[in-house]
Amino acid sequence: MKNLINLGEQNSIFNQFIKEIRSAKIQKDSMRFRRNIERIGEIFAYEISKKLSFETETVTTPLGDCDIEVPKGNPVIATVLRAGLPLHQGILNYFDQAENAFVSAYRKHTTADDFEVQVEYMSGPTLKGKTLILCDPMLASGQSMVLAYKALIEEYGQPEHVHIVAIIASSEGLQYLAKNVRSKATFWMGAIDSEMTAQSYIIPGLGDAGDLAYGQKE
């Protein structure tokens, strides 16, 4: 897949955090689960920063001036509620001057195995000519991510570049993403799993990220 970067293929501390969020034993500590998701977001932000445009700024120290290359402008960070909040916060920790957007999307089930994703709420700044970082911990069928992407573009304008971030993705979801994201985009993944259930849960995946982070919902 063009413009796909899988950080899990590189040997780094990143994979320790992936291991821990997958572990059924460690998942019992919801605070640690959220913090690991946040740390993963920080690593994604650092890697994404390398792909941004840079400009020279002069900073004055107590002893003189020096020129430093810094990112040009600030991105807009967007996420799908509620599971995306810790990942969003991790990325925001590094891009701490970023603007933010939020999309509330949910599965509307017609049968146990059949559903459609609907957007319920959305807020954000203009995206015209900006860099958009759209993140969600899990990319299963890809429907939620694509729906959020399309809703943001329709409402707030076309960004210059889109960085789509998911910690764990299914192969099927990635294919769906590639077919439906028309912007100039880079896809950032932490791990790619080959299987998915009829209910669109990734195998081996990690379970329901929202429930693990914030408690089970009715």
Report the alpha-carbon distance of residue 147 to residue 106 in Å, rounded. 11
Question: Is the per-residue pLDDT at 103 higher than 90?
Answer: yes
Question: Is the per-residue pLDDT at 113 higher than 60?
Answer: no
Per-residue pLDDT of 132-158, as tens digits, reads 999 999 999 998 899 999 999 999 999
Per-residue pLDDT, 108: 59
Confidence label for 1 from pLDDT (cuts 50, 70 and 90): confident
Per-residue pLDDT, 106: 67
Pairing mode, strands 161-170 and 131-135: parallel
Domains and CATH numbers, the chain: 4-51+75-212 (3.40.50.2020)
Per-residue pLDDT, 112: 47
Report the alpha-carbon distance of residue 5 to residue 3 in Å, rounded. 7
Per-residue pLDDT, 110: 53
Per-residue pLDDT, 120: 80
Question: Is the per-residue pLDDT at 109 higher than 60?
Answer: no
Per-residue pLDDT, 35: 98
